Amino acid sequence: MDSIAERLADKQKEISVGEFFERNKHILGFDSLTKALVTAVKEGVDNSLDSCEEAGILPDIKVVIREVDDEEYRVSVEDNGPGIPKRKIPDVFGKLLYGSRFHEIRQSRGQQGIGVSAVVMYGQLTTGKPTLVRSKVKEKDYAQEMKITLDTKKNEPDVLSKEVVLWEDKEHGTLFETTIRGLLRSGKHSVFEYLKNTAIVNPHARITYVRNGDTTVFKRATDQLPGKTKAVKPHIEGIELGTFAKMAKNSDRRKLVSFLVNDFSRISYNTARDICEEAGIEEEMKPRDLDVESCKKLLKATKNVKIMAPKTDCLSPIKSMLIKKGLKNVLKGYRPEFYAPPITRDPEVASGNPFQVEVGLVYGGDLPSDGPVRVLRFANRVPLMYKKGGCATTTAIQQIDWRIYGLDQKGGSGMPRGPVIILIHVASTRVPFTSEAKEAIADIPVIVDEIERGLRECARELRTHLNKKEKRKKVSKKFMIVKDILPMIAEKSASIVGKETPSLDKVMTNIMGVVYIDKKMEWNNGAAEGIIEIMNYTSKEREMSLFIEKPYPETELLDSSREPEHDGDYIEWKLEKLKPSKTSKIKFKFSNLDKEDIDGTDVFIDGVNETHLIGAEPLPDDWGVELADIHEED
Amino acid sequence: MDSIAERLADKQKEISVGEFFERNKHILGFDSLTKALVTAVKEGVDNSLDSCEEAGILPDIKVVIREVDDEEYRVSVEDNGPGIPKRKIPDVFGKLLYGSRFHEIRQSRGQQGIGVSAVVMYGQLTTGKPTLVRSKVKEKDYAQEMKITLDTKKNEPDVLSKEVVLWEDKEHGTLFETTIRGLLRSGKHSVFEYLKNTAIVNPHARITYVRNGDTTVFKRATDQLPGKTKAVKPHIEGIELGTFAKMAKNSDRRKLVSFLVNDFSRISYNTARDICEEAGIEEEMKPRDLDVESCKKLLKATKNVKIMAPKTDCLSPIKSMLIKKGLKNVLKGYRPEFYAPPITRDPEVASGNPFQVEVGLVYGGDLPSDGPVRVLRFANRVPLMYKKGGCATTTAIQQIDWRIYGLDQKGGSGMPRGPVIILIHVASTRVPFTSEAKEAIADIPVIVDEIERGLRECARELRTHLNKKEKRKKVSKKFMIVKDILPMIAEKSASIVGKETPSLDKVMTNIMGVVYIDKKMEWNNGAAEGIIEIMNYTSKEREMSLFIEKPYPETELLDSSREPEHDGDYIEWKLEKLKPSKTSKIKFKFSNLDKEDIDGTDVFIDGVNETHLIGAEPLPDDWGVELADIHEED
């Protein structure tokens, strides 16, 4: 029979996954030559960070890009991760849809098992060259080296060569090197920008970037690894009817209640019974006997039964202090005048997936002040570089009237303008990206709301800062005038009446009512020498603590005129009994600090009401230090 | 060994295609409840149109949507296509990445082999219900009916039931019915809008839409099927190095020249030799012996050798007249005053893929005039409903200064405003969509340029129309005044001098110099009765042809006071020797016409210079009629 139907039917064939993604490379982030390089680096770095963290290793990652021909680059990513055992190397790099995190419900960067194999595929597609992979696990004295391509027809790796090599100075780690067609650009959408932003939200990582021989190092700002995330069971709130029915059908549990209690998260035995009762379904029945209608009733019933929100140990937010460290570490060149204490919101739930929003805001200094604010967007600690317009973060920013927080904004909507950088991080077990290239977060109302709330919290801090700045500018002006003019008047008066010039400290104290802190730092023979003067121009004896943050974990306190109370991530000095009108000095020396960093170390004070403080900031409450209880009037 | 590397490696697993797409359903167009319904209908209708056209059948498609529960709808799509043989039904509906058009280079709606299986998967995921498929091929007396689900773990169909049923009144065709979670909305992003727009660019299709019992029929506007497209070989211009190297390696050809001539399109034997010479590679060598470097040289060489552009019989544009018919058919309710002759641009090439741009523009009448112009976007005859902002069509519109063409536009950029609908159709063997959900066309410069050129052609016609309208408004005003006042003056003068009122036709003729056409239509006992009066107020004897378009293929001319010269898609009457100052009348009767359509039939005239025409339009030059050669002065 050769009918039309038969003829058309004979053309129906299976299409291989490899061929599908080869043709649709744009949905994997390879839609332009510039983006191709960013994507290749991103997939490598995501994998390195994920595996280091899972293995409890502080990541040390090196990215090298070199132009080898017109529009052709050799890209390599090297890490100090646990390494990949020989037998798994081909599949990890040469097979699409192969990975470890697809079936787990917890926060991680890569989840789909496509990333790095897509880079291998794109490389061979555009330059015809295989990818070189080298990996060493701790237990072996040598590394494995393979040249790999991806057979797109079969979606299987082709190993072209296998070798055992020595990898000196490397205890464990993985390196891959691919040659791809691309275009290396600078600016907003560059590899540099991607790595810089990665460093901000991963302050525990050390990232080295070598670009045609030029090296940039993003130093580690903390030795603290992110909290490990735990895989959780699905939460019933977000489950689709079909998935629920399938789970029930495949379940070995003998009773419906135990199916509900054991195969879902946060359902207690009592809750499970309530659900069955509400649905009018026998709790003792076998889950695999449930028909679709019963499943539907059960899911409907969950809406009327109180079920605990999902556990959040599957999430690993960056946390306020580290966001600030990360921002400071990378933005110090701009010398911003104000870092709003970053906000880590409580976890929320979107369709059964827990998520958590973090927001940071940096203001002033040398940040460009004549354009729209800059936004750094992140999902699960990965920078989002493209499709800003269609992202939940942009929606949230634009629906706030920023004028009430002291920023410029046309008509009270759209992008505000001014010397501001806003950081937004959304962590989730399932970030709802708008596409597989993971470029923008979908406008889910509950997520947009959370982002907006975080933004408003930061914005209120900004408003307070701007108000205080105005107020302290006035106090400071008064203080400077009094400090300069009063002695002159005293001297003049004394000389007229022929008496000795009186001490003015008491008078100053009565007029001013402030604690004045003056910090100077100098660069001396490779070390940073600092001196902090604390003048008590208030009428009370003062007890206080001084804090300085160390810019890097490797920064060391070499010398200090006063024994510090604490010497770790930060230095704390206690100052007891500083009498009215008295001055105290602390001298100290730091090693392992870059020359350009010495101005970045702010002084924070605990024990003095901030309205009485000039020249220092009150200690933020996220340092893990128990704050003094201050009761004073302004 | 239980090292960390081993432990992590053991978690690496293969991920099934089904599970991948189940999780990433948003990239298949299932990212909101409203969109889910549109996507389900779209995938069905795309398939039906494609298969009808391949089989040379005028499509007759019926879409039925019924709400069966809260947020749950039963959706069915039925066609009169060739049907699917029994053995192929399960795979076509229950297996992702299975299709007939993936490996062919030619214009078609569906290409990836995902569409309708994704609907089956989404249905079972959200409602737990299988999809019912019924299909009948011409050779059988009965239809096959199956209930199908998709086993996402294996990406294989599960056939739950198989039955043989009678399908009365159906010679051949396919029907599927799925129950899905969704939300039926009206407005811009509705199923209705999608079907309406589909009808515009597929005037050869009859589409019936039943929505909760309410029926709308989009009638066929032509019986002419689109030209069949031919599959072509790849064009060397757009081929990636890796693909070329793979083709060479797998080639059985014995010589490089014959590989180039036979495995690519548009390379002659001489061109192939030129390429080899330019690349410095022996033309007699075996293609499978080429290394990557040689492949690179060959591809580089093609840039310096003139190669013919790809053949374009793989494309099937709608063509100007049918675009107009499609627009008229669907937009008649707005009674637009002007349809710019739609533009079908010559084919161009983007990365080796031929593409062709078509543009239409409709102006005035009851189209809303107070907002931005409306844009109907299409790719390969499929409406694009989402992501307007990121689409090449929008970029092209916004970069034109529409003020010079007579439209309102703030600052000469952005969206113009006014009572305008713009239609843009991009046909290609590979439309560069920005995502798998096929919602927007990527901003490829050569495509944006072509769209802009098409838009400008239409815009110039609009400007000419608006100018002429202004001019004819003046002539018409003069004509009316003269027609009314002259007889009064004549009568008065005659009565004063006591003479008979003279005939003024001659005078009028001398003053006016126009042919005046007056068309009236009336609804009478289920038929449309028309009368056209033609008055020759020029000084010459006139010979002309009158044309009326039939709104539908089934419209019939029942009666005509003058024998028509042509009675087909349009009616033509010839008018010979209409003397100056004389009037002629044509009466006619139409059947199978809706009452609301009777005003839509314009009269077109050939043989009279348009500046001498009042009450009718000159015949456009795309009717396939040989136009009279008019030499007259204004």
Q: What is the pLDDT of residues A1-28, one digit of tens each?
A: 458 888 877 887 888 888 888 887 877 8
What are the CA-CA distances from residue A1 to residues B70, B101, B364 (Å)?
47, 22, 55
**How distant is the Cα of A584 from the closest Cα of chain B, in angstroms?**
53
pLDDT of residue B371: 87
B137 within domain boundaries: yes
Are B447 and B432 spatial neighbours (Cβ–Cβ below 8 Å)?
Answer: yes
Please say which residue of A218, A253, A271 terminates a domain. A218
User: Given an 8 Å threshold on Cβ–Cβ distance, is A20 in contact with B435?
Assistant: no
What are the CA-CA distances from residue A22 to residues A483, B242, B598 (Å)?
73, 11, 53
How many helices, marked H, and strands, marked E, lie in chain A?
A: 14, 26
Residues B39 and B140 in one domain: yes
Confidence of residue B2 (pLDDT cuts 50, 70, 90): low
Residues A79 and A107 in one domain: yes
Residue A209: pLDDT over 90: yes
pLDDT of residue B634: 46
pLDDT digits (tens, 9 = 90+) for B448-490: 999 999 999 999 999 988 987 887 778 778 777 777 787 888 8
Q: Which residues in chain A are closer than 8 Å to B91, comparing Cβ atoms?
A: 12, 14
Please say which residue of B302, B317, B350 terminates a domain. B302
Residues A379 and A521 in one domain: no
Residues B348 and B461 in one domain: yes
Confidence of residue B132 (pLDDT cuts 50, 70, 90): very high
pLDDT of residue A596: 67
% chain A with pLDDT above 70: 97
Confidence of residue B517 (pLDDT cuts 50, 70, 90): confident
Residues A294 and A404 in one domain: no
pLDDT of residue A28: 82
Distance CA A326, CA B461 (A): 59
Domain that holds residue A141: 17-218
pLDDT of residue A353: 86
Mean per-residue pLDDT, A151-159:
92
Which range of A215-224, A311-320, A524-533 scores highest in mean pLDDT? It is A215-224
A488 within domain boundaries: no
Q: Which residues in chain A are closer than 8 Å to B6, comparing Cβ atoms?
A: 85, 137
| Maximal CA-CA distance, chain A | 128
Core vs surface per residue B427-461: b (16+ CB within 10 A) or e: bbbbbbbbbbbbbbbbbeeebbebbbbbbbbbbeb
Mean per-residue pLDDT, A448-458:
96
pLDDT digits (tens, 9 = 90+) for A88-122: 999 999 998 887 777 777 777 776 667 899 999 99
Residues A592 and A445 in one domain: no
Mean per-residue pLDDT, A426-450:
88
Which range of B264-278, B433-447, B494-508 scores highest in mean pLDDT? It is B264-278
User: Given an 8 Å threshold on Cβ–Cβ distance, is A55 in contact with B4?
Assistant: yes
Residues B296 and B387 in one domain: no
3-class DSSP state of B374: strand
First vs last C-alpha separation in chain B: 98
* Chain A CB within 8 Å of residue B70 CB: no
Please say which residue of B466, B495, B516 terminates a domain. B466
A417 within domain boundaries: yes
Which of B3, B126, B433 is opposite residue A138, by nearest beta carbon?
B3
Q: Looking at the 3D structure of chain B, how many domains does it have?
A: 4
**How distant is the Cα of B603 from the closest Cα of chain A, in angstroms?**
42
Which of A5, A6, A15 is opposite residue B102, by nearest beta carbon?
A15
pLDDT digits (tens, 9 = 90+) for A546-598: 998 887 778 888 889 999 999 988 899 999 889 988 889 999 998 887 776 66
* Chain B CB within 8 Å of residue A82 CB: yes
Residues B384 and B430 in one domain: yes
Among the residue ranges A397-401, A507-511, A596-600, the one predicted with the least confidence is A596-600
Looking at every residue in chain B, the average pLDDT score rounds to 88
User: Given an 8 Å threshold on Cβ–Cβ distance, is A113 in contact with B15?
Assistant: yes
* Chain B CB within 8 Å of residue A211 CB: no
Which range of A31-35, A333-337, B272-276, B330-334 scores highest in mean pLDDT? It is B272-276
Which of the residues A3, A148, A151 would you substitute to probe the B interface, choosing the one with the greatest number of B C-beta atoms within 10 Å? A3
pLDDT digits (tens, 9 = 90+) for B567-623: 988 899 999 889 988 889 999 998 887 776 666 677 888 888 877 888 788 887 767
Looking at every residue in chain A, the average pLDDT score rounds to 88
B338 within domain boundaries: yes
Mean per-residue pLDDT, A418-431:
94
CB < 8 Å from A in window 451-480 of B: none
B241 within domain boundaries: yes
* Chain A CB within 8 Å of residue B225 CB: no
pLDDT digits (tens, 9 = 90+) for B11-54: 878 888 888 888 878 778 888 899 999 999 999 999 999 999 98
Q: Which residues in chain B are closer than 8 Å to A447, comparing Cβ atoms?
A: none
Mean per-residue pLDDT, B292-319:
90
Q: Which residues in chain A are closer than 8 Å to B434, comparing Cβ atoms?
A: 26, 31
Residues A133 and A64 in one domain: yes
Confidence of residue B244 (pLDDT cuts 50, 70, 90): very high
* Chain A CB within 8 Å of residue B72 CB: no
Distance CA A495, CA A382 (A): 69
% chain B with pLDDT above 90: 50
Distance CA B511, CA B488 (A): 16
* Chain A CB within 8 Å of residue B2 CB: no
Residue B525: pLDDT over 90: no
Those residues with Cβ within 8 angstroms of residue A24's Cβ, 6 or more apart along the chain or in another chain: B112, B436
Are B464 and B610 spatial neighbours (Cβ–Cβ below 8 Å)?
Answer: no
Q: Which residues in chain A are closer than 8 Å to B82, comparing Cβ atoms?
A: 3-5, 8
Residue B112: pLDDT over 70: no
Tell me the CATH number at A345.
3.30.230.10
B61 within domain boundaries: yes
Q: Which helix (H) or strand (E) holds A5?
A: helix A4-10
Which of B24, B128, B442 is opposite residue A241, by nearest beta carbon?
B128
Mean per-residue pLDDT, A136-149:
94
* Chain A CB within 8 Å of residue B351 CB: no
Tell me the CATH number at B261.
1.10.8.50
| Closest residue in B to A290 (Cα–Cα) | B128
pLDDT of residue B1: 45
**How distant is the Cα of A566 from the closest Cα of chain B, in angstroms?**
35
pLDDT of residue B574: 93
How far from chain centre, in Å, is Cα B212? 28
pLDDT of residue A634: 46
Which of the residues B2, B10, B14 would you substitute to probe the A interface, choosing the one with the greatest number of A C-beta atoms within 10 Å? B14
More confident residue, A544 or A482: A544
- ipTM score of the complex? 0.75
pLDDT of residue A599: 64
Are B391 and B384 spatial neighbours (Cβ–Cβ below 8 Å)?
Answer: yes
Side-chain-facing half-sphere of B162: CA atoms under 13 Å? 7
More confident residue, A37 or B479: A37
Tell me the CATH number at A29.
3.30.565.10
A42 within domain boundaries: yes
Q: Which of A132, A46, A90 is nearest to B9 (CA)?
A: A90
Q: How many CB atoms lie within 10 A of CB A631?
A: 6
**B592 phi and psi, to 5 degrees?**
55, 50
Task: Kindly report the pTM of this predicted structure.
Answer: 0.79
Among the residue ranges A530-539, B118-127, B307-316, B431-440, the one predicted with the least confidence is B431-440
Q: Which token pair is B126?
A: 């959200």
Which of A19, A92, A97 is opposite residue B17, by nearest beta carbon?
A97
Q: Which of A352, A345, A375, A344 is nearest to A362 (CA)?
A: A375
A228 within domain boundaries: no
Mean per-residue pLDDT, A273-291:
95
Residues B247 and B387 in one domain: no
Residues B156 and B82 in one domain: yes
Residues A107 and A181 in one domain: yes
